[in-house]
């Protein structure tokens, strides 16, 4: 029984394809060497005249390599491709991502896809490419690869061979898909995403920074708020690290944990850790100078739940900086206690016109507490909190009243759950704004003040939703702006329709004697049947 379960587990990991994270046995001594793995798993089909045909010359993100390697067994097992262990697969991803990866600037526009940012929208260079190539998967999956014109053509042939319906399905049958793909799309992609670029050439040639040492971190977790903390990184092998996190949320919650991380392509950090009691994954980029680490971490079982993350070097050698101040939104005519989080902090601060510093308590070089009084007539808008000795600074906001509120994200997607497929929740937040110089809400010069508490509700988005009673069936809006979708499946009460819905999300923010309202759009869609590393 146990054996059977183990086998099932192996199969599942292969399918979902996340070997690039560092959970178990990172750098295990059991692992075979790369030439052995290639010999056992790849050469038979790919090695010809001393070259790995179809492999040499391609460049991909770690996720891209992982998906292709997982695909070899799934698609070509009938021709003799062997199931590959997690460790071997990870070793190959490492090998190829280092030799044939993407330069930081090549991956930058599509990091949101690797970071699994929820409710983010795909970026497509033009409408033709959107119709031809981004109707089954994201365009980002393509833009995170580099290859020659011939290799782009071969990929199109692979599509035609594997998915013949590509020519007959929607946006395929209204045109000569094959001819357009080969004569127009392939050359266009070869220009946009060529195999060889100066960016990769120079990135590959340079010496890469390592992340070992102490870091001072900060970020925002939708639904839970801002946090600041510490990360410690120790080498456990080449490009393999043991890490420990301490995260202190602005609301007083503390969490800590440990894990492992791997760096691919000289900067692509992929980590697994247990923080608090939750298994989390981290997708960060290490800056070229090794001074910053940034990206997103998310729950392993629910990647829509996560937090932005950025880190700077900590310790005596590191430059002074302020990474966060809690709270960062102050009301005119009030007294406030501020917690300043940073590196090499001193005891002297400036807060700008109308704000008086009443007391400073230095806890240590990383944390200082300030008591301030904000005058009734302090200028509203953004202020700078500035360390007098080092010049390090961070923005905070002062308001008398909010001019408007917006809901983020403006357009959210949640997915029904059911059976073995968990629901995908959608987290909303309310953000307060000032109108800015033009005096009008909703324009480009509005000043973003920060997150504010709200009470939440949902409504039917339009007439059709009203007629179908989407609010009643699609799920529940919880108090903190978290929408939890209903279960999937034909619902007899809806004449067999599933519990999908088209909703408006409403936030009401108390303001003085009144309140401000704002809305967003939420689509509650069908289950996420599979969650590939890159959608």
Contact residues for ligand HEC (CB under 6 A)? Answer: 41-42, 44-46, 54-55, 58, 64, 67-69, 71-72, 75-76, 79-81, 84, 92, 132-133, 135-137, 141-142, 145, 155-156, 158-159, 163, 166, 181, 185, 189, 532
Nearest to 344 by CA among 391, 410, 413: 391
Question: Least separation, in Å, of the C-beta of 218 and ligand HEC?
Answer: 35
Question: Least separation, in Å, of the C-beta of 416 and ligand HEC?
Answer: 22
**Based on CB atoms, which residue is closest to ligand HEC, 81 or 487?**
81
**Based on CB atoms, which residue is closest to ligand HEC, 55 or 123?**
55
8-state DSSP, 75: H
**Based on CB atoms, which residue is closest to ligand HEC, 128 or 389?**
128
Name, in order, each residue with C-beta under 8 angstroms of 415's C-beta and a sequence gap of 6 or more: 423, 424, 485, 524, 525, 526, 527, 528
**Based on CB atoms, which residue is closest to ligand HEC, 159 or 386?**
159
Sheet holding 321-326, edge to edge: 321-326, 334-343, 367-374, 355-364
Classify residue 286 as exposed, middle or buried by CB count within 10 Å of its CB (0-12, 13-18, 19+): buried
Question: Least separation, in Å, of the C-beta of 104 and ligand HEC?
Answer: 20
Residues 482 and 223: their CA atoms lie apart, in Å, by: 7
Question: Least separation, in Å, of the C-beta of 175 and ligand HEC?
Answer: 12
Asked if 527 contacts 488 with a C-beta cutoff of 8 angstroms, the reply is yes
Asked if 509 contacts 516 with a C-beta cutoff of 8 angstroms, the reply is yes
**Based on CB atoms, which residue is closest to ligand HEC, 47 or 329?**
47
**Based on CB atoms, which residue is closest to ligand HEC, 63 or 403?**
63
Give the torsion sign (CA, 441, 442, 448, 454).
positive
Question: Least separation, in Å, of the C-beta of 123 and ligand HEC?
Answer: 15
**Based on CB atoms, which residue is closest to ligand HEC, 69 or 113?**
69
The alpha-carbon radius of gyration of the chain (Å, integer) is 26
Sort strands 411-415 and 514-525 into parallel, antiparallel or unpaired: parallel
What letters, b where the CB count within 10 A reaches 16 and e where it falls short, cover 108-120? eebbbbbbbbbbe
What letters, b where the CB count within 10 A reaches 16 and e where it falls short, cover 222-235? bebbbbbbbbbbee
Question: Least separation, in Å, of the C-beta of 30 and ligand HEC?
Answer: 18
Peptide bond into 176 cis (omega under 30): no
Question: Least separation, in Å, of the C-beta of 489 and ligand HEC?
Answer: 25
**Based on CB atoms, which residue is closest to ligand HEC, 65 or 483?**
65
Nearest to 502 by CA among 524, 519, 484, 479: 524
Question: Least separation, in Å, of the C-beta of 222 and ligand HEC?
Answer: 28
**Based on CB atoms, which residue is closest to ligand HEC, 126 or 410?**
126
Question: Least separation, in Å, of the C-beta of 43 and ligand HEC?
Answer: 8
């Amino acid at each position: 029984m146990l054996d059977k379960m183990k086998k099932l587990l192996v199969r599942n990991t292969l399918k979902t394809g996340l070997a690039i994270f560092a959970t178990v046995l990172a750098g295990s001594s059991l692992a075979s060497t790369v030439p052995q793995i290639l010999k056992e798993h790849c050469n038979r089909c790919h090695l010809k005249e001393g070259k790995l045909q179809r492999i040499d010359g391609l460049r991909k993100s770690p996720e891209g390599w992982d998906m292709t390697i997982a695909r070899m067994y799934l698609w070509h097992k009938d021709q003799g491709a062997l199931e590959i262990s997690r460790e071997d697969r990870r070793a190959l991803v490492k090998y190829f991502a280092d030799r044939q990866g993407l330069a930081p600037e090549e991956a930058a526009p599509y990091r949101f896809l690797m970071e699994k940012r929820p409710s983010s929208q795909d970026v497509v260079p033009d409408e033709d490419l959107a119709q031809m190539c981004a109707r089954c998967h994201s365009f980002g999956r393509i833009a995170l690869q580099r290859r020659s014109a011939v290799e782009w053509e071969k990929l199109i042939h692979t599509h035609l061979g594997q998915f013949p319906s590509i020519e007959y399905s929607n946006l395929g049958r209204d045109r000569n898909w094959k001819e357009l793909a080969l004569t127009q799309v392939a050359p266009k992609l070869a220009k946009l995403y060529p195999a060889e670029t100066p960016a990769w050439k120079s990135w590959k040639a340079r010496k890469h920074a390592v992340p070992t040492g102490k870091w001072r971190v900060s970020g925002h977790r939708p639904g839970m708020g801002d946090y600041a903390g510490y990360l410690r990184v120790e080498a456990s092998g080449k490009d393999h690290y043991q890490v420990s996190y301490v995260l202190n949320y602005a609301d007083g919650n503390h969490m800590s944990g440990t894990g492992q991380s791997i760096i691919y392509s000289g900067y692509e950090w992929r980590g697994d850790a247990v923080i608090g009691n939750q298994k989390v994954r981290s997708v960060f980029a290490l800056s070229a100078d090794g001074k910053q680490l940034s990206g997103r971490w998310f729950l392993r079982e629910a990647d829509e739940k996560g937090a932005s993350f950025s880190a700077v070097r900590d310790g005596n050698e590191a430059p002074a900086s302020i990474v966060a101040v809690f709270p960062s939104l102050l009301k005119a005519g009030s007294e406030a206690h501020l917690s300043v989080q940073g590196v090499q902090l001193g005891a002297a601060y400036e807060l700008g016109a109308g704000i008086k510093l009443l007391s400073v308590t230095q806890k240590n070089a990383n944390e200082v507490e300030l008591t301030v009084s904000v005058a009734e007539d302090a200028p509203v808008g953004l202020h700078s909190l500035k360390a007098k000795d080092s010049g390090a600074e961070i923005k905070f906001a002062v308001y008398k009243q909010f001019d408007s509120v917006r809901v983020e994200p403006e357009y959210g997607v949640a997915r029904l759950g059911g059976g073995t497929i968990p629901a995908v929740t959608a987290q909303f937040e309310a953000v307060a704004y000032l109108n800015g110089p033009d005096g009008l809400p909703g324009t480009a010069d509005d000043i973003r003040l920060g997150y504010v508490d709200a009470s939440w509700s949902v409504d039917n988005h339009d007439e059709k939703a009203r007629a179908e009673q989407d609010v009643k069936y699609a799920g529940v809006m919880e108090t903190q702006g978290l929408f939890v979708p209903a279960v999937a499946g034909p619902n007899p009460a809806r004449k067999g329709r599933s519990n999908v819905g088209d909703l408006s999300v409403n936030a009401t923010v108390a303001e003085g004697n009144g309140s401000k309202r704002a809305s967003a759009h939420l689509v509650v869609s069908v289950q996420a049947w599979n969650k590939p590393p890159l959608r």
